[in-house]
Every structure is written in C-alpha cells, then in structure tokens.
Amino acid sequence: MREIGSREKNRTQKKKKTWKKFLIFLVFEIVFTAVTMPLLIFYGPFENVKKTLVGTAWNTLRHQYIAKIFLSDEAIHRILGSSFSADPVASGEEVQKLEFGVNHSDRIEIYNIDGGNFKGKLMIIFDPTKVKVGYSSQMPESGEKTSSIAKRNGAIAAINAGGFMDKGWTGTGGAPMGFIIHDGKIIANQIKDENVKQDTAAFTDKGMLIVGRHSMAQLKKLGVKEGVSFGPPLVVNGKPTITQGDGGWGINPRTAIGQREDGAVLFLTIDGRSLNSLGATLRDCQDILLQYKAVNAVNLDGGSSTTMYYNNKVINRPSDALGERFVPSVFMVVPGKEGEQ
C-alpha cells in the first residue's frame, strides 16, 4: 500500500513540475512576443504592416504614443507620407459640374459590404436633394446621437458627418471642427476668414456633392446649401486620390459619402474594432465607392462615431461599448413635404 501511495505521489509531483514548466514557458513566450513583436513591426521589413499600424495609432489621436515610443515624428511622417490622399482640388483642379437633372424619388437601396476582414453597409439615396445636414441642438455644450438628430428632423436615414474637438477628450461631441452649413446658413465655423480653405463635404442647391479643400467664399459662389468640414477626399472627378499605400490613416471604423454621375448619393459605413469586423483603411473605402460608381467622394468622421440609421433603428454596429457616440452633425435623408417637387 505504501508503494502504491508513493507512486501516486511521484506522479502528482511530476504533473505539477510539468505544468510549472509549461507555465514558465508560456509566460516566457508572452513576454518574448510582447518585446520582439513591436520591434519586428516598427523596425522590420514589413512596410505595409508598418504603415497600417502606424497610421492606425497616429490617427486615433489618443494612441499616438504607441508610434512615438518606437519612432521619431520625422520617421512617422516619412512612413505615412507616401500613403496620404492627394487632393487635386488643393492643386487647382475644379470639381466638375454634374448635370443629372431632376430626380425626385423616395427610392433607397441598402447593400451589405464584406471585405473579408471588415463588414459594413452601403446605402444609395436616389434623390440627392433630400440629403440635408442635421446638427446637435445642444451645441456647443454637447453633441447628440445620430439617431436622435435624425428622429428630431423626421429623417428616414442618416450617417454621422463632421468631427469635433472636446476639452479633455470627453467624447461629448459639442465643439464641431471646421464648419456646419444647413439650408444655406452657416451654423458653425471655426475659421472666421472666409478665404481660408477647409476640407469640404457639401451639397449645392442642385444636389451636387462638393469635395476637396474650399474656402467659405468659394462655397457661397457654388451655391452650397448643406455641408460640413471633413476629409480627405477619396474620389475627385472619377479619379482616386489614393494611388499609393492605404491612405495613411490605418484600420478603423469608417464613414464616407459619395455621389454617382446620375446624382445618386452613397452613404458608406464600415464597422471596426471587433473580431467580426476589424475596420477598413481609407483606400478600402475609396475602392468600395469606386466600385459603386462614385465620381466624387469624401471621408467623414469615423472611429466610435461611425453610425448608420435607417427606418427608426441603427443598422450598423458602432464600435463604442456604450452604443452610439454623441456627434455634432449628420448627413440625413429628409422626405420632401407634401406637394413639394
């Protein structure tokens, strides 16, 4: 009996030693990977991976320190420099005038987007004159949810639009970046000089989408009726603005807006920061919008702000654990009043 007990005791001790060795090995592997992986990424030969991860960290703003730990500002800008969108409007090219006539239609189509590593929604609004800008009734103290702004304005669809800067990064969406224009009126504008050019996502009184950098004086001459300030442009006059790299902003949830030659407006949202959908690059968004025949398109505020609303509910998956983020502005689809053409 003692011999059997001794054998059992030895087996137990061997198992404990085996488990102990395994745990030590596991801890070593985790520590080794944690130390070497960043070095491999930031100093190794994998340029595309490096650009994507640096872009993700740099443009998330809160996590720029991740890139700065390993790289100088000069190195970061060198890595990302060739990836950024090249805005032809800033170089003097004009957004060509689209002649799509009158198309008063309530038709809306929605498509599921599957990019392998990301999933999203694309909405086609066939009447561009129904696209309006909505904004928070609480500005500058706070933004509102995309769905709340849409419901308050009687909109049947909406996506988040412009960005914001909040004191202490509280995420309340109260102070809009750039400008907000609604019904031809300037609701907000950070820059008082009307000759200073700003990133633009705006619609004229004819329903034509204007993208690229424009001054407020230029927008007035173009007859802009609805718009926000954000960028960069992704497609200008049918041509992609990102021809090298992925756009330099890394992988994140994305929101973008575009327009086809026939006037139909494209709302695009890409979910991110989950195992189901990691997020997309700016080039991914550009390519999707080109696939759906966009002739002009522009990036909007993404990340936790990315939201698509339709028929009284949010139809994408916002990345924030609390759900919709408060934002200052949205692009929304508002049905025409009875008897309105």
Between the CA atoms of 184, 336, 329 and 181, what dihedral angle is there, to the nearest 10 degrees? 0
Between the CA atoms of 195, 212, 134 and 309, what dihedral angle is there, to the nearest 10 degrees? -170
287 Cβ contact partners less than 8 Å away, ≥ 6 residues apart: 240
CB atoms within 10 A of CB 94: 13
The answer to whether 246 and 282 have CB atoms below 8 angstroms apart is yes
Q: How many residues does the chain have?
A: 341
Q: Which two tokens stand for residue 3?
A: 């011999």
Domain definitions of the chain by residue range? 2-81, 108-333
Q: Which two tokens stand for residue 236?
A: 């200008």
- Please choose, from the candidates 284, 289, 258, the residue with its C-alpha nearest in 3D space to the C-alpha of residue 271: 284
Sign of the torsion formed by the C-alpha atoms of 98, 163, 109 and 246:
positive
CB atoms within 10 A of CB 155: 23
Q: Which residues pair with 34 in a beta bridge?
A: none
Distance between CA 302 and CA 161 in Å, rounded? 9
pLDDT in tens, the chain (341 residues): 555 556 666 666 666 666 766 677 666 656 555 555 454 445 555 455 555 555 555 565 555 555 555 556 565 555 555 567 889 998 899 999 998 887 778 999 999 999 999 999 999 999 999 999 999 999 988 999 999 999 999 999 999 999 998 655 566 778 899 999 999 999 999 999 999 999 999 999 999 999 999 999 999 999 999 999 999 999 999 999 999 888 888 899 999 999 999 999 999 999 999 999 999 999 999 999 999 999 999 999 999 999 999 999 999 999 988 889 999 999 999 997 543 43
